[in-house]
Amino acid sequence: MTRGPFMQLSKEFHQYRKLEQLVENKTSYQLEHAELHIFETHEVAEKISLKFDAPVLATMMQGKKIMQLNEGKSFNFLPSESLLLLPETPMLIDFPEASFQNPTRCLAMTISEEKIKEILQLINERFKSREENEWLMSRINFHFKHDYALQQVLQHILLIFTEDHPTKDLFLDFALKELLIRILQHEKKAQYEKGEQAIYSNNRVAFIMQYIQQHLDEPLDIKTLSQKVYMSESHFHRVFKNEVGISPIEYLIEKRISKARNLLQNPEIPIKEVYLACGFNNISYFNRQFKRKNHCSPKTFRNQFL
């Protein structure tokens, strides 16, 4: 599969940044409530250590890193992915593909604790319903992939920092609110999908996410799902989207397509059996949804594994 799209840097960045070293060259920007650092590596390197003394959002812009956190298992870090890291988290980084023509680029942004607390208080006071738990920042390192909306927010923040504009702090204030809400939604979604009994037995959104994953091959719609958690259709739709960031039906399609990708890797399973096992009742609708999520047809996807 192709990697996510590269994030674009402003003309001002390329005009004024100084290339002083080939491994983890750092260009920094500072605004009132946040700092942003762009790291560039122009040659293959191994076991580069890095650590921040504050919570940091690290986002891959271009290229590939192999990351190891807290002496744990290594993993690939690719464009359209981010890491939310706790302070003092030790990182060991390899750059297997970096070159002068195609550097590896990553941004690292820190946000003041006061600003984070202010935004969380706003969210909990104005948007949290009785069904939702209080929104809190992560107490663990969190690796996640972007959806389209989060990718656009991060692109906007990157341009705010790197362009020359007199109202940058005001623009950033608005963008940080959206950024934190979308990250919290990604984290809640990941927590609920783990299926921990203590979570989904006491939370209706977590329960229904587990129900969806366990019944992907069955006919499911908003009416059926809302009845399972004793909520009206409109209220269920609003609460689910507030917590997870996407609608219940979009989440259902996402999980069905994910299951289809796994099944398509086995060439012995006919495509008709694949889409029926994933809850799709006709091939044309399955093809449309698969292409929308993967930018290729099910047949093209399967051919990668033949």
Residue 197 above 50 pLDDT?
no
Residue 296 above 70 pLDDT?
yes
- Determine contact, residues 208/248, Cβ cutoff 8 Å: yes
Residue 201 above 60 pLDDT?
no
Q: List, in order of start, the domains of the chain with CATH numbers.
A: 11-191 (2.60.120.280), 194-306 (1.10.10.60)
The pLDDT value given to residue 204: 86
* pLDDT tens, position by position, 43-85: 999 999 999 988 899 999 999 999 999 888 999 999 999 999 9
Residue 200 above 50 pLDDT?
no
User: Quick one: which H or E segment has residue 16?
Assistant: helix 11-16
Residue 147 above 90 pLDDT?
no
The pLDDT value given to residue 128: 63
Mean pLDDT within 23-51: 94
Mean pLDDT within 266-277: 94
Global pTM reads: 0.74
Residue 2 above 50 pLDDT?
no
Mean pLDDT within 252-257: 95
Residue 5 above 80 pLDDT?
no
* pLDDT tens, position by position, 125-138: 776 655 556 667 76
Instruction: Decide: helix, strand or coil at residue 37.
Output: strand
Residue 184 above 70 pLDDT?
yes
Residue 106 above 90 pLDDT?
yes
What distance in Å separates the CA atoms of residue 18 and residue 201, rounded to the nearest whole number? 54
Q: What is the mean pLDDT of the chain?
A: 88
* pLDDT tens, position by position, 155-175: 999 999 988 888 999 999 999
DSSP class of 8: P
